[in-house]
Structure 1
Amino acid sequence: MLNIFARASVSRVTDPIGVWLVRLGLTPNAMTLVGTAGAVGFSLWLFPTGHLLAGTFVVWGLVMLDVLDGAMARAKGGGTPFGAVLDSTCDRIADGALLAAIAWYGFEFADRPPLGAAALICLVLGQVVSYIKARAEAAGLTANVGLVERAERLIIALVGTGLTGLGVPYAVDVALWLLVAGSVVTVVQRIVEVRRSATLLATSEAGE
């Protein structure tokens, strides 16, 4: 949802930076890999050891590199099919590492199994949300709807960890259970949209 409203505004800021990075000789794929490696490494280092505030800021900064790789691709005249697959794959890896790290924090450091369980449920649902869209598009259908997409997942999770790092008790627990609820709604929304798209496609083919 946030992607629809924020993309144009963000692009106005990131596109000049993307042009500058391309002029330095960097490539979008390299930026994708660097951002993903950093996000995975710092997530698994900082969150399980209880450094929630530091982890929030570091991981958020690294995730923002994902925005810059798109700006760099536009600066080069458009992305490539390989770049699109690499970017999507790395998104799933980074998201999985973040939520796995929060689960690790919940089970081991904080000794709050419900928090760990919420993180694991969010991890699975996040992958399902993304898979539905990818599978639908591969079948020629649409599923570009949803209350909670990747941007919202990251914002909700990292706001929760950041507030907990600042001393707000159980902020990350509340954030992740809200994310569970929002993700379930999103899965249902996308399945309904795929069904609607399939019905329209079948009707269109029958009328030809």
Structure 2
Amino acid sequence: MTLDQYRSVADRLLGPWVSAADRLGLSPDQVSVIAFLVAVAAAAAFAVGSATLYAAGALLVLLNGWLDVVDGALARHQGVASDGGDFLDHVLDRYADVAIIAGFTAGVEAYALGFAAVTGVLLTSYLGTQIQAVGIGREYGGLLGRADRLALAGTVGVVAAVYPSPIAAGLNVVGLLLALFAVVGHLTAVQRFLGAWRDL
């Protein structure tokens, strides 16, 4: 289960967005920064935790994910794809992930779950880049990639806006999402490690 395998489909839908960014004179790096700022705004909305802001945060998370695809497509369109741009994009993605999870965590005050969730997410991403560093190639696979996490975060934001009450084990949908990120994030990191280890 990973939406990252559908990147080629997303690429075909990017034309109008890439053209608009190009006409505005935006560079891929600038789009990456905008995507990060959108994630920070989503985190702030989630931290407040009101119904309206949960819904707004959900839209902002989905926009962050879309802009994260736009920056790469824009780089290819402008012929300026570079290792530096790729590096900046990865760094900002990790900060965006931390911000979004921190926002959810603050909103429900589930700090232990938030810590477990953010370490799971960061280790998943770390394993992906470390696998690339040893020469196997970039790894997007696993149980829960970044596209999956953003889709789930957006969905949970909408659900939390409508139904903020506890669902199971005293946790509402946001708490359950953090638990999912914690468990599945670490499992995905292990899955990536084992897959890479077999390829070495």
Check if 1:19 corresponds to 2:14. Answer: no
Residue of structure 2 in register with 1:101 after alignment: 103
Residue of structure 2 in register with 1:49 after alignment: 48
Counterpart-to-counterpart distance in 2, 1:181 and 1:138: 25
- Cα RMSD for the two superposed structures: 1.8
Match among 142, 158, 162 for residue 158 of structure 2: 162
8 Å CA contact 2:58–2:156 kept in 1: the answer is no
Residue of structure 1 in register with 2:3 after alignment: 2
Q: Secondary structure at the match of 2:47?
A: coil
Match among 174, 177, 190 for residue 175 of structure 1: 177
Residue of structure 2 in register with 1:203 after alignment: none
Counterpart-to-counterpart distance in 2, 1:173 and 1:104: 11
Quote how far apart the aligned CAs of 1:143 are: 6.3
Counterpart-to-counterpart distance in 1, 2:118 and 2:105: 9
Counterpart-to-counterpart distance in 1, 2:177 and 2:23: 40
Give a deviation string over 1:42-98, Cα, whole Å, max 9, x none.
134211111312211123223321121112112113511100000001100111000
Quote how far apart the aligned CAs of 1:100 are: 0.7
Relative to structure 1, is the Cα distance of residues 49 and 134 closer, same or farther in structure 2, using a 3 angstrom cutoff?
A: same
Which structure's CA Rg is the greater one? 1
Counterpart-to-counterpart distance in 1, 2:182 and 2:138: 19
Most deviating of 160-169 and 87-96: 160-169
After TM superposition, what 4+ stretches of structure 1 lie above 4 angstroms from structure 2?
none
Report the number of matched residues: 189
Counterpart-to-counterpart distance in 2, 1:30 and 1:171: 34
Structure 2 letter corresponding to 1:131: Y
Counterpart-to-counterpart distance in 2, 1:190 and 1:8: 22
> 1:1-208 maps to which residues of 2 (within 5 A)?
1-4=2-5, 6-40=6-40, 42-50=41-49, 51-77=53-79, 79-107=81-109, 113=110, 116-142=111-137, 144=139, 145-167=141-163, 169=165, 170-198=172-200
1 or 2 for the larger relative contact order (CA 8 Å, sep ≥6)? 2
Structure 1 letter corresponding to 2:97: D
8 Å CA contact 1:143–1:190 kept in 2: the answer is no
Counterpart-to-counterpart distance in 2, 1:75 and 1:182: 35
Give a deviation string over 1:111-144, Cα, whole Å, max 9, x none.
xx3xx33232111111111111212211223562
Relative to structure 1, is the Cα distance of residues 20 and 52 closer, same or farther in structure 2, using a 3 angstrom cutoff?
A: closer
Most deviating of 44-53 and 128-137: 44-53
- TM-score w.r.t. the length of structure 1 is 0.83
Percent identity, aligned pairs only?
Answer: 29
8 Å CA contact 2:42–2:57 kept in 1: the answer is yes
Stretches of structure 1 that go unaligned for 5 or more consecutive residues are: 108-112, 199-208
Counterpart-to-counterpart distance in 1, 2:14 and 2:138: 27
8 Å CA contact 2:124–2:189 kept in 1: the answer is yes
